Amino acid sequence: MMTSTTSESSAPLALLDLQTLVVAVRRRRRLWFSMAFLGLLAGVALAVLLPPPPTAMTKVLVAHQEDQPSDPGTLIRTDAALLHTTRIAGEALRSLKSPVKPEDFMRDYEGLGLTNNLLQITVTADSGPEAVVRAQALADAFVADHVRRIREAANAEAKALLDQRDRMRAELAQVNETIGDGAPESGPKASADMESLFARRAELTSRISDFDQRAADARVGTPRLVSGTQIVDAPRVVRYSLPKTAATNAAIGLALGLALGLAVAAVGAVVADRPVLRREIAAHLGASVIAELPLGSATPWRRRRARSARERLTTSLARTVRGSAEPVSLLELGCARSTGVIALDLARALGADGPVVVIDGLPGQRLAGRRPRPGDPTVVSGERAAVASYRERPLGVGSVAPGAAWTDLPYLGARTVLVVRAGHGSTAWLHTVARQLADQRVAVIGVVLVDADPRDRTDGTLWDGPDSAPRGRSERPELPERRNGTAPQRPERQPSWAAPVPDNEQEVR
């Protein structure tokens, strides 16, 4: 059973830890910075390589019979839709004497209602003057079509009113004839009939006058609408500014690239499930974080800070190794180079107490294959570790990355310090490492966290103690003892050291 902090053991596990997500996304800032930069470059390239075609623009004031202050823009949207019809496109092409089909011409222009009565027409062409001519022809065709529709509507309304007036006049003539042909009879009934006829004549006369007035008004309003529909902004070429367009496209591309990069980083962090916080790594490995080590940087002040942190770590590890009666090893996960540097620094520090031999079990024999420098400790490969003299203090260096030979780890040291790069191994692999070390009865002294997030304020200390350590964690492997100052015999089985695996300075995919 894995150990955990007291405060976290009773707390329910969250489906999504926002703190972990934020830290994981921030650690992948190179990804979303790169995507934002690519978006910026794509916006600039789009403006440079795909400039817009020559464009002309004109504005037309459109008067409507049904104009109302509360109109939500339905009439002007109708005009914009009518502009994009084959009838108006054909009229414009006929005035230009162009052989282009109206369906093809409609792809080169568009109308946009700016207000309830103002229509903007934009036309593209192969050149600026051609675009201006096309815009003028299209605006003239639209105005002519709108005026024709206004007049046709007015004439139709006036004709309907006059037809109704004529029917009233025919009825009035019939009433007058009835009144003129009526016999001069006396009596109440005859008087009532004559009164109803006179009343009907008066009503018909009034309605005829009303229809005459309405027909006249219908025709009178037409000139006002016709004169109100006109081109208010002559066609002109739209100026194209490359710097302005490039800046606009770059800003849009930057925003889109940044958003896409953040989304990819967030989804990748959730799917990969790679712990980055101290508390998570300590809980999954079942060991406390005893030190942190930043990665090297190109800036001088960061290099000095990393060197100081490495010196403090070397002093602490040297004190731990001197106080241990059993061999101690360094096992890396995702930071083979940093682990090799730590091992050499630790061997130099221990060299003041006596000879030290570094057993290189790293993939690719990183330390054994390097050219030794003056003052460097003795480095032997894993294959030669079985015949190494026990008169020298052994310091094993190995790997727990995928592909490692677990059964060889006890030969590097009965106790170990895990050097883990934050965000490198998945949760499942950290559990695998803890379980395999427990099965091999290799006690974990602590974890050195490499490339930790500087804003991480979580606690990486396990408070439960060694009693709740994973199975076999606190037990010691039975190693041969020294007798009469002679080196004990190694087990007959020769360790089959881990085969080279990909450089684990990079993420395990």
Q: Can you give the CATH number for the domain in which 283 is found?
A: 3.40.50.300
Question: What pLDDT band is residue 182 in, cutting at 50, 70 and 90?
Answer: low
Q: Which region among 179-183, 404-408, 474-478 has the lowest average model confidence (pLDDT)? A: 474-478
Shared domain check, 311 and 264? no
Question: What pLDDT band is residue 90 in, cutting at 50, 70 and 90?
Answer: very high
**pLDDT at residue 410 greater than cutoff 70:** yes
Shared domain check, 412 and 289? yes
* Percent share of the chain, pLDDT over 70: 81
Q: Which region among 42-51, 239-248, 353-362 has the lowest average model confidence (pLDDT)? A: 353-362
**pLDDT at residue 459 greater than cutoff 90:** no
Shared domain check, 206 and 83? yes
Q: Once rounded to an integer, what is the mean pLDDT over residues 61-66?
A: 88
Question: What pLDDT band is residue 60 in, cutting at 50, 70 and 90?
Answer: very high
Decide if 474 is inside a domain: no
Q: Once rounded to an integer, what is the mean pLDDT over residues 192-198?
A: 79
Decide if 484 is inside a domain: no
Strand pairing report for 55-61 and 118-124: antiparallel
Shared domain check, 362 and 322? yes
Task: Compute CA distances 281 → 5, 195, 411, 429, 434, whole Å.
Answer: 12, 110, 25, 11, 11
Decide if 293 is inside a domain: yes
Shared domain check, 256 and 380? no
Name the token pair of 344: 């050499």
State the pLDDT at residue 99.
92
Q: Once rounded to an integer, what is the mean pLDDT over residues 285-306?
A: 78
Decide if 325 is inside a domain: yes
State the pLDDT at residue 492.
41
Distance CA 280, CA 274 (A): 10
Q: Once rounded to an integer, what is the mean pLDDT over residues 212-224?
A: 75
Q: Which region among 31-45, 295-309, 420-434 has the lowest average model confidence (pLDDT)? A: 295-309
Decide if 485 is inside a domain: no
State the pLDDT at residue 431.
93
Shared domain check, 171 and 66? yes
How many domains is the chain built from?
A: 3
Closest-CA residue to 110 (of 95, 100, 101, 120): 120
Question: What pLDDT band is residue 157 in, cutting at 50, 70 and 90?
Answer: confident
Shared domain check, 379 and 415? yes
Shared domain check, 307 and 261? no
Shared domain check, 207 and 167? yes
Which of 122-126, 309-313, 385-389, 409-413 has maximum average pLDDT?
A: 122-126
Distance CA 445, CA 437 (A): 12
Q: How many CB atoms lie within 10 A of CB 72?
A: 9
Q: How many CB atoms lie within 10 A of CB 68?
A: 10
Contact present, 276 and 24 (Cβ < 8 Å): yes
Shared domain check, 41 and 164? no
Shared domain check, 203 and 263? no
Domain range for 451 = 273-468
**pLDDT at residue 383 greater than cutoff 80:** no
Question: What pLDDT band is residue 106 in, cutting at 50, 70 and 90?
Answer: very high
Q: Once rounded to an integer, what is the mean pLDDT over residues 321-334?
A: 89
**Average pLDDT over the chain, rounded to whole?**
80
3-state helix, strand, coil in the chain (%, to 5): 50, 15, 35
**pLDDT at residue 493 greater than cutoff 60:** no
Decide if 414 is inside a domain: yes
Q: Which region among 13-22, 114-123, 178-187, 313-322 has the lowest average model confidence (pLDDT)? A: 178-187
Decide if 502 is inside a domain: no
Name the token pair of 246: 């490039």
pTM (2 d.p.):
0.60
Decide if 497 is inside a domain: no
Shared domain check, 103 and 36? no
